[in-house]
């Protein structure tokens, strides 16, 4: 089992509702625990027709009915998502674990509920799962990666994440469980990667006799090679990368149209990154995304539909361009992030209204599962199962799911 030839999506799993049993209020649907037109923090509305359980919201659909949403706390929600992955040929998910989740026993335990749902669903639907630690939020003074080490120990001990059964769903790479550490080398972060024990975390995951033996993926800025622009001018990042196996550069927001010169700039970026990584024995996973919008999260200073999806052309150009430039694996940002308008899961054409009215991105005249389908086609393109067609995003038969071509397992 390996990351090569696979499309993996980032998975937040952070949505909660007041009635889901988690003890939370509205989490990630709205701000400050509220979910109405004045507090809404999502730019895309999910299509909830497939979910076994949904929750009423203060919003109203065009037909007068109450608009409903899901909760990530429910096992049925996560199972539905992994079923969609199987139906559309997406290989699995990197389960996001933010640093804050690791800092207390209660938060770690709550985070394991979602991860446990994912491991079970991945086994049922023959998909892959890997843990991705996001270091965002580490305080520059007094906090370090020690709590991440503790969290990984508990995941191994409590969930048996890497040793569950013959139906093992954890993603291995180069013959070892793959663990991702995201957030190294970025400008605009309060923490310095020299001071938070990242080197000790990497060494632990690689070498610990009981909990180690892992492959390492590092999430780094777009300009990691040159240490400029979004990357701190500190060569220590390259020293840490020498200990890794896979490099994932964060590109969300860096490209806006992928037309003309920008199209070639993206492809050149991928080609040059690949060449740099290969000379250092590193694998490389380009980050592809369908669009971007965080108007409701950030307010009027950020335009709605900031990076247009263009009916899928933007997303497919990222996928197609990455593979044409030599990529052998892909990371999709993100499976479920409606907060920043990058979600690829099923989206609604019937976004609700409010009082006063809220604004949501119109996904246009494409099927609700269009971006799931395109991500799955990206996997087929990686494996050479379909020709490199730049117009494939037009999806001449919207009802096609290509289920007969979906692999039955992640071996």
- Per-residue pLDDT in tens (0 to 9) along the chain, 411 residues: 689 999 999 999 999 999 999 999 999 999 999 999 999 999 999 999 999 999 999 999 989 999 999 999 999 999 999 999 999 999 999 999 999 999 999 999 999 999 999 999 999 999 999 999 999 999 988 899 999 999 999 999 999 999 876 667 999 999 999 999 999 999 999 999 999 999 999 999 999 999 999 999 999 999 999 999 999 999 999 999 999 999 999 999 999 999 999 999 999 999 999 999 999 999 999 999 999 999 999 998 899 999 999 999 999 999 999 999 999 999 999 999 999 999 999 999 999 987 778 899 999 999 999 999 999 999 999 999 999 999 999 998 645 444 334 434 333
Retrieve residue 113's tokens. Answer: 């509920």
Strand partners, 107: none
Contact 286, 249 (CB under 8 A): yes
Supply the pTM of this predicted model. Answer: 0.95
**Domain extents for the chain?**
7-405
Best CA proximity match to 156, nearest among 135, 136, 179, 137: 179
Retrieve residue 70's tokens. Answer: 């899901």
Outline where DSSP puts E strands in 27-103. Answer: 55-60, 66-69, 92-98
Contact 289, 342 (CB under 8 A): yes
**H/E stretch holding 297:** helix 295-298
The CATH architecture of the domain made up of 7-405 is Alpha-Beta Barrel (3.20)
Crossing angle of helices 313-324 and 260-279, rounded to 10°: 40
Retrieve residue 109's tokens. Answer: 């335990």
CA distances from 367 to 306, 399, 401 (A): 21, 8, 11
Outline where DSSP puts E strands in 334-383. Answer: none
């Amino acid at each position: 089992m390996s990351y090569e030839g696979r499309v993996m999506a980032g998975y937040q799993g952070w949505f909660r509702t007041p009635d889901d049993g988690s003890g939370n209020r509205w989490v990630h649907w709205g701000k400050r625990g509220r979910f109405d037109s004045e507090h809404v923090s999502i730019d895309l509305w999910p299509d909830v027709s497939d979910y076994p359980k949904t929750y009423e919201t203060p919003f109203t659909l065009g037909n007068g009915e109450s608009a409903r949403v899901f909760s990530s706390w429910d096992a049925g929600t996560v199972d539905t998502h992994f079923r969609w992955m199987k139906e559309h040929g997406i290989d699995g998910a990197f389960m996001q674990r933010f640093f804050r989740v690791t800092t207390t026993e209660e938060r770690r335990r709550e985070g394991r509920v979602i991860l446990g749902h994912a491991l079970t669903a991945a086994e049922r639907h023959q998909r892959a799962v890997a843990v991705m630690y996001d270091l965002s939020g580490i305080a520059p003074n007094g906090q370090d990666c020690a709590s991440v080490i503790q969290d990984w120990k508990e995941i191994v001990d409590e969930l048996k994440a890497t040793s569950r059964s013959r139906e093992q769903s954890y993603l291995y790479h180069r013959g070892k469980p793959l663990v991702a550490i995201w957030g190294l080398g970025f400008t605009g972060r309060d923490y310095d990667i020299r001071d938070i024990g990242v080197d000790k975390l990497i060494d632990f995951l690689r070498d610990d006799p009981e909990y180690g033996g892992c492959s390492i993926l590092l999430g780094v800025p777009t300009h990691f090679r040159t240490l400029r622009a979004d990357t701190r001018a500190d060569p220590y990042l390259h020293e840490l990368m020498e200990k890794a196996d896979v490099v994932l550069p964060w590109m969300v927001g860096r490209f806006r149209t992928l037309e003309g010169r920008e199209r070639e700039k993206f492809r050149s970026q991928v080609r040059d990154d690949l060449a740099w990584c290969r000379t250092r024995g590193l694998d490389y996973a380009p980050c592809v995304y369908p669009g971007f919008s965080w108007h409701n999260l950030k307010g009027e200073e950020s335009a709605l539909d900031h990076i247009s999806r263009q009916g899928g052309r933007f997303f497919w150009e990222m996928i197609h361009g990455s593979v044409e430039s030599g990529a052998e694996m892909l990371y999709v940002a993100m499976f479920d992030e409606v907060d920043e308008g990058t979600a690829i899961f099923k989206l609604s054409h019937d976004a609700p209204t409010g009082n006063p009215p809220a604004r949501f991105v119109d996904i246009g005249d494409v099927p609700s599962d269009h971006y799931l389908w395109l991500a799955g086609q990206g996997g087929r393109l990686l494996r050479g199962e379909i020709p490199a067609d730049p117009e494939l995003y037009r999806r001449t038969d919207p009802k096609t799911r290509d289920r007969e071509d979906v692999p039955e397992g992640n071996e």
